[in-house]
Amino acid sequence: MGSSAAYHLARRGMRVLGLERFAPAHDKGSSHGGSRIIRQSYFEDPAYVPLLLRSYELWEELKQNSGVDVYSITGGLFIGPPDSTTFSGSLRASEQWGLDHEVLTDREVHQSFPAFEPPAGQFALYERMAGFARPEFTVRAHIGLAEQAGADLHFGEPALSWTDDVNGVSVHTEAGTYQASQLVVCPGAWAPKILSDIGIRIKIERQVMYWIDHSPGSPSMEGGPIYIQENNNVEQIYGFPPIDGPAGGAKVAFFRKGTECTPDTIDREVHPDERRDMLDRVSQLLPGLSGPVLDTATCMYSTTPDENFVIARHPLHTNVSVACGFSGHGFKFVPVVGEILADLVEHGTTDHPIALFDPARLASA
Ligand SMILES: Cc1cc2nc3c(=O)[nH]c(=O)nc-3n(C[C@H](O)[C@H](O)[C@H](O)COP(=O)(O)OP(=O)(O)OC[C@H]3O[C@@H](n4cnc5c(N)ncnc54)[C@H](O)[C@@H]3O)c2cc1C
């Protein structure tokens, strides 16, 4: 979110200083692991769809301007019991916004995509425009374009604290103090520390990604769709085709099955019982994806109580804009969030519909 904001601000001709604690496109936050699902039939809430439509335009613009393959369209299957959020919520968003979609029975899913064997009685919404973004490529593309447009980006330089008054803001780092008229804070899992006064509790959760090999002779998933599948106890898994070639495995993960942590206490080791759980669960949908587990990685979600984002002017500090609490589903919005933050800095407001992301929504609840 920070690299996207730096890009959008710099290309509007503003003077931008960016401060990042670690190296470009590092793996210690929430934006690594090779792939992120992008989709438009948004089961979380159809209110996100206009932002997704704009994000897709900006994904394409980023691809063109950077020459980097930041996203790919593969189609997507959102599978579950007929009344599940994953299926019925995706259908609702598609119908409400007139998105290109198809409804498939479990058998039709298997006929069209032989690697998939959904449990009997489940349905899938097939969305043609779904696919995946490449998080590290995206961050690097935004950084490169931001620097080309004149942004001064400092890596390995954490912001230790900031203060503001009517004239602007001061940010303190070990290297010194910087003054600016406006500050944008996109701290990911560090929000509970650096944005402790925004009035929303953000829970940091450890999440695991698994790259799994398929058994010899099983139907190939290459070039196939991304997917999210819900079972009867509402647990969701999601995954990708093997996008780095068959030797890299196909990435799979539980959606929201995490343990609370902080960036300092997160357990980076993935344990044998966790691998077994993932293999058991994914084989109920993709029997060929039987292992072994080729690789794993941990990542953090920053989850708000209602799982909607926080994107707003800071409620207590006039010259500060914030973007955090992306609740495990923010990456597909990275390009449009940068645009929104640039609007908030330039105009104090935006034409994008962001009422859902106002931190006051929960303060008054
Ligand atoms: C396993 C996993 C799977 C996901 N899958 C999807 C998906 O399929 N689709 C989707 O849309 N979303 C997905 N998400 C969510 C999405 O990736 C996140 O919402 C998004 O990456 C959050 O970006 P961010 O900029 O807020 O956080 P980050 O990318 O972590 O960036 C925050 C940055 O702030 C820096 N920072 C923090 N404090 C300071 C400081 N004091 N000074 C300087 N720098 C600081 C950090 O070092 C970090 O680089 C997934 C997330 C995870 C973890």
pTM across the whole model: 0.98
CA of 10 to the centre of ligand 1 (A): 21
Q: Tell which phi-psi region holds residue 82, choosing left (phi > 0), alpha (psi between -120 and 50) or beta.
A: alpha
Q: What is the spatial distance between Cα 341 and Cα 312, in angstroms, rounded to a whole number?
A: 8
Closest atom of ligand 1 to 328 CA is 15
Q: What is the pLDDT of residue 133?
A: 98
Segment 143-153 mean pLDDT: 98
Residue 271 has which token pair? 């344990």
Instruction: Determine which helix (DSSP H) or strand (DSSP E) holds 269, and give its type and residue range.
Output: none
Token duo for residue 69:
């393959």
Split at pLDDT 50, 70, 90, the class of 165 is confident
pLDDT band at 318 (very low <50, low <70, confident <90, very high): confident
Give the model confidence (pLDDT) of 338-357 as tens digits: 999 999 999 999 999 999 99
Nearest CA to ligand 1 atom 22: 30
pLDDT digits (tens, 9 = 90+) for 19-35: 999 999 999 999 999 99
| CA neighbor of 154 nearest in space, from 178, 136, 134, 132 | 178
Locate the ligand 1 atom nearest the alpha carbon of residue 333 and give its number: 11
Å from CA of 29 to ligand 1 middle: 5
Q: Is 299 in the pocket of ligand 1 (CB under 6 A)?
A: yes
Q: How far is the CA of 187 from the centre of ligand 1 (A)?
A: 8
How many A from CA of 208 to the centre of ligand 1? 14
- Ligand 1 near 313 CB (within 6 A): no
Substitution site in 171, 177, 326, 327 for ligand 1 pocket (most atoms within 8 Å of beta carbon)? 326
Q: What is the pLDDT of residues 56-115, one digit of tens each?
A: 999 999 999 999 999 999 999 999 999 999 999 999 999 999 999 999 999 999 999 999
Q: What is the pLDDT of residue 286?
A: 98
Q: Give the integer Cα–Cα distance in Å for 275 and 242.
A: 18
Measured between its terminal Cα atoms, the distance across the chain in Å is 27
Encoded tokens for 331: 């990456």
Give the phi and the psi of residue 92 in degrees, each rounded to 5: -60, -45
Average pLDDT over residues 160-183: 95
Q: Which atom of ligand 1 is nearest to the CA of 209?
A: 1
Q: Is 306 left (phi over 0), alpha (psi -120 to 50) or beta?
A: alpha
Q: What is the CA radius of gyration of the chain?
A: 21
Residue 328: CB within 6 Å of ligand 1? yes
- To test the pocket of ligand 1, the residue of 157, 190, 311 to mutate (highest count of ligand atoms within 8 Å of its CB) is 190
Q: Is the pLDDT of residue 152 over 60?
A: yes
Would you tell me how many other CB atoms lie within 10 Å of the CB of residue 154? Answer: 14
The most distant pair of C-alpha atoms in the chain lies apart, rounded to whole Å, by 67
> Is the CB of residue 76 below 6 angstroms from any atom belonging to ligand 1?
no
- The pLDDT score that the predictor gives to residue 362 is 82
Distance 330 CA to ligand 1 centre (A): 8
Q: Could you give phi then psi for residue 79, rounded to 5 degrees?
A: -115, 140
Encode pLDDT of 182-214 as tens digits: 999 999 999 999 999 999 999 999 999 999 999
Q: Cβ neighbours of residue 5 under 8 Å, at least 6 residues apart?
A: 184, 186, 323, 337, 338, 341, 342
pLDDT, average across residues 266-293: 96
